[in-house]
Amino acid sequence: MDAGKVKFFPRREMLDLVVADGQARGIVARNMVTGALETYQGHAVVLATGGYGNTWYLSTMAKASNATAVWRAYKRGACFGNPCFAQIHPTCIPQSGAYQSKLTLMSESLRNDGRIWVPKKKGDTRPPQDIPENERDYYLERLYPSFGNLVPRDVASRRAKEMCDNGYGVGPTKLAVYLDFGDAIKRNGRHWIEEKYGNLFDMYHEITNEDPYRLPMRIYPAIHYTMGGLWVDYNLMSNVPGLYVIGEANFSDHGANRLGASALMQGLADGYFILPYTIGDYLATETFQSLKETDEPFQRTTKDVTERIGRLLSVRGKTPADDFHRELGKVMWDNVGMGRNKKGLEAALKEIPKIRNAFWKDVKVVGTADSLNSELERAGRVADFLELSELIARDALHRQESCGGHFRVESQTEEGEAKRDDRNFTYVAAWEYAGDGKVPKLHKEPLKFDYVKPSQRSYK
Amino acid sequence: MNFTLKIWRQKSREAEGGFKTYAVKDIPPDASFLELLDVLNADLIRKGEEPIAFDHDCREGICGSCGLVINGRSHGPHKGAATCEQRMRNFRDGEEITVEPWRAKPFPILKDLVVDRTAFDRIMLAGGYVSVRTGGAPDANAIPIPKPVADEAMDAAACIGCGACVAACKNASAMLFVAAKVSQLALLPQGQAERVERAERMIAQMDAEGFGACSNTYACEAECPKKISVTHIARLNREFIRAKLI
C-alpha cells in the first residue's frame, strides 16, 4: 500500500457483485459513513471476506463477520461448495446467559496440559474441588487411551456434547465440562503454567470471574470455522470467470475437517503463493470489453442493491434484526450443529423459512439509508444468513454420511464414531442458485485419490 | 443490575452533540459493557428510536475496534481491558455511568460514539511494516533472538491500535502507539532494513495528522488495555535520534 499499488477503502461493505458478459467485473459497495452506494470496476474481483460461522449466531467469530459478500456472489451464479462443513471448537468458554453476544475461544494449546473431565455421577452438583479423584471421569483418556485429551476438535467437541446431553454437564447451565490444570500445576509449578498460558488464564478469569489456577476451567464447544465456502478451481477462481475467492471464504484446502492453525496456512497459501501467479494468467489470456461504471451492468446492479435496502427500511415492523438472528442461531445449533439427523434437519428446513418470512414482515430497521446506520448493516446481513442457513441445512441433509466435522447421527460405528460412506459421497457438493424459493442445483465434483485412501479415523 | 447511562449522542460529523440519559434494568453482572449497550439498543429500536452507534468487532480485546471513554477513563475503570472486556460486575449496582467517544482532534466523531481512526492507518502506512522478498524459506534457527528481546518485542506487538493512549493524553499524543509499532520492529532482525526511515516517516506522519507532543504524564500507559509500557516511548526517541545521526 505504501508503494501506491494497493488502495484501501475503510468502512465500505460489498453488497453485490457486478457480472458483465459472464465475467466478474466489479462490485457495488456501501460507504458505511455516508450511506452512498459506490461502484468499483476492474478486470477481476477477489473476495477475501471470511467465513460464515455467524450463521449460528453464537460463535468465536468477530461480530461484524458475515456472509453477505459470498452470498451475493452465490446469487450471481458462483457455486457454494460443501456449505454444511463447519468446525466446532471444543475449548470455548460456555455461554452464561441469553444476553450473550459471542463466545470466546480458549486456545487449543490448553489441551496439552489440561485434563478434561466430568463427574462420574449424573447431575453431581458438588463444586469440582469436592469431587474426589476416583469419582471423576476423564472420558477422553478413557475412550481414546493413545490420544487422550489431544483427540481432534470434532471428536472432543462431540464427546463433550454427549456427556452434557447424558446429564454429566457441569456449571450453572450444565452445558460445560472441566478442563483441569491441577495436575500440571502440581507437576511443574504455577510459574511454569503462567509462563506458558498466563494470558489465557487471565482472559478466562476476566470473563468468568473464576480463577483457573484454583478451579478447573469450564469449557464447551462453539462454532469456530467454516470449511465450506464458494467453490473454486485450483487457480482459486470460482465458476464465474474473473471471480477469485481466497481464504476462509472459499471451500478449498480443508475438506470436511480442519487442523489447528491451518487457517493461517490457507491465508498464506491462497493470498501469497497461489493467487499472485494464477490471476496474471487470467488477466493476460482473457479478452475484456471496455466497461464503465456508468454502463448498464453497474447501473442494474446498483438498482438491485438500492431496492433491497429500500425493502429492509420499508418493512417497519416491531422486532430488531438481532432477535431473528438469535432465533435462527438456536435452530441452527440445535439441528445443524454437532450431531445432525434427518428429523432435525428436516425440521430446520421448515423452521428457517418461517423465521425468514417473519423477518420480512416484522423487522424494524430504524434510521435512514443515507447515513451511518449499523442497524441497516446488521439487517442486511441477517437477511442473508436467513437464506444461507437453509442451504447449509439442505447440504447437511443430502450428505447422509459422517465425515470430518459433519456428523450424521444415522451414520456412526458401534462405538459412536463418524462412519464414512466413500462409495456414495466421495465428491464436493457444489450448489448452484436456481432462483428464490427454488431448490438449488447440486453439482458433484468427484474426488480422486491417487496416493492416499480415505479411511476410518481411529484415535484409540 | 440497574444503571443510568449518560451517553454522548451526535448525528454526524458536522452536527452538534450532547449527552442523553437512559435507564437500563436487569443487566446480568457477567454481561460485557458492549452487551449492556446491545440491551439498550434493542430497547431503543423497539421504541422506534435510533440505536446508539458504536464500533466493535471481535469482542475479545484483540481487534482494537471498540473504544469508549467510560466515566472519564479510556476503556473504563478496569485495568488492562478493552471496552468489550469490561464486565458489569466491576460497576456498582445503580451507578450512573458517563459514556463518551474518544476525544482528540485527529479522531473526528462520525456518529455518537464512532470516531474516524484512519489517522492511525496513515501512520502505519508511513513505515509500520517490513518488506519481505521471499526466496527459499530461511532456517528458523539461523537467526537466534534472545528470549528477553523476543518478549519485549511481543509486549510492543500487543498494541491493538485502539487509540486509548491518544484519548487518555491531555495533548492527544499518539506517542505510545507509534512507539509500540516502531519498537516492535526495531527490536527484531526483520525490522532492520527500514529501521531509519521508519522512525523518521512515522513520526513525521504522526505530526502531520495533528497529534500532540508527549509531556511524560504516563496517562497512556495507565489506560492502555494491553499495558504497554512508556519505556517503548524512550526507545522511539532513541530510534528518532539515531535516524537523525545516520
Amino acid at A260: G
Q: State the Cα–Cα distance between residues A6 and A276, nearest whole angstrom.
A: 14
Please indicate, yes or no, if residue A33 is contained in any of the structural domains: yes
Question: How sure is the predictor about A300, in pLDDT bands with cuts at 50, 70 and 90?
Answer: very high
Nearest CA in chain A to B47: A318
Mean of pLDDT values over A84-106:
92
Instruction: For residue A236, give the C-alpha cell.
Output: 482459486
Can you state the percent helix, strand and coil of chain B, rounding each to 5? 40, 15, 50
Look at residue B122 and give its three-state secondary structure: helix
Within an 8 Å CB–CB cutoff, is residue B191 touching chain A? no
pLDDT at B132 over 80: no
* Same domain, residue pair B29 and B127: no
Please indicate, yes or no, if residue A460 is contained in any of the structural domains: no
* Same domain, residue pair A231 and A108: no
Work out the mean pLDDT of chain A and round it to a whole number.
95
**A308, A360 contact by CB (below 8 A):** no
Please report the pLDDT score of residue A460 as a whole number: 84
CATH of the domain at B125: 1.10.1060.10
Q: State the Cα–Cα distance between residues A161 and A139, nearest whole angstrom.
A: 12
pLDDT at B108 over 80: yes
Q: Tell me which chain A residues have a C-beta less than 8 angstroms from the C-beta of B41.
A: 320
A101:B110 CB<8 A: no
CATH of the domain at A151: 3.90.700.10
Instruction: Among B110, B138, B166, give the residue marking a domain's end.
Output: B110
Please indicate, yes or no, if residue A31 is contained in any of the structural domains: yes
* Same domain, residue pair B123 and B237: yes
* Same domain, residue pair A268 and A405: yes
Please indicate, yes or no, if residue A1 is contained in any of the structural domains: no
* Predicted-complex ipTM score: 0.94
Instruction: Among A194, A224, A254, give the residue marking a domain's end.
Output: A224
Look at residue B180 and give its three-state secondary structure: helix
Instruction: Among B72, B91, B110, give the residue marking a domain's end.
Output: B110
How many domains does one find in chain B?
2
Q: Which domain holds residue A194?
A: 89-224
* Same domain, residue pair A283 and A324: yes
Alpha helices in A252-341 (DSSP H): 262-268, 275-285, 296-314, 321-335
Question: How sure is the predictor about B246, in pLDDT bands with cuts at 50, 70 and 90?
Answer: confident
pLDDT at B134 over 70: no
Q: Tell me which chain A residues have a C-beta less than 8 angstroms from the C-beta of B108.
A: none
B58:A366 CB<8 A: no
Within an 8 Å CB–CB cutoff, is residue A375 touching chain B? yes
Separation in Å, CA A271 to CA A220, A263, A264, B226: 33, 12, 10, 30
* Same domain, residue pair A323 and A393: yes
Mean of pLDDT values over B166-185:
98
* Same domain, residue pair B125 and B215: yes
B42:A371 CB<8 A: no
Instruction: Among A165, A200, A224, give the residue marking a domain's end.
Output: A224
The per-residue pLDDT for range A407-426, each reduced to its tens digit, is 999 999 998 899 999 999 99
CATH of the domain at A81: 3.50.50.60
Look at residue B214 and give its three-state secondary structure: coil
The per-residue pLDDT for range A47-68, each reduced to its tens digit, is 999 999 999 999 999 999 999 9
Please report the pLDDT score of residue B129 as a whole number: 94
* Same domain, residue pair A388 and A374: yes
* Same domain, residue pair A194 and A55: no
How many domains does one find in chain A?
2
Separation in Å, CA A317 to CA A312, B47, B52, B181, B240: 10, 11, 19, 47, 58
Please indicate, yes or no, if residue A363 is contained in any of the structural domains: yes
B30:A208 CB<8 A: yes
* Same domain, residue pair A42 and A122: no
Q: Which domain holds residue B173?
A: 118-245
Please indicate, yes or no, if residue A3 is contained in any of the structural domains: no
**A172, B29 contact by CB (below 8 A):** no
Within an 8 Å CB–CB cutoff, is residue A43 touching chain B? no
CATH of the domain at B34: 3.10.20.30
* Same domain, residue pair A263 and A208: no
* Same domain, residue pair B129 and B240: yes
* Same domain, residue pair A60 and A158: no
Mean of pLDDT values over B65-92:
96
* Same domain, residue pair A275 and A423: yes
A100:B114 CB<8 A: no
Please report the pLDDT score of residue A263 as a whole number: 83
Task: Output phi, psi for A340, to 5 deg.
Answer: -115, 135
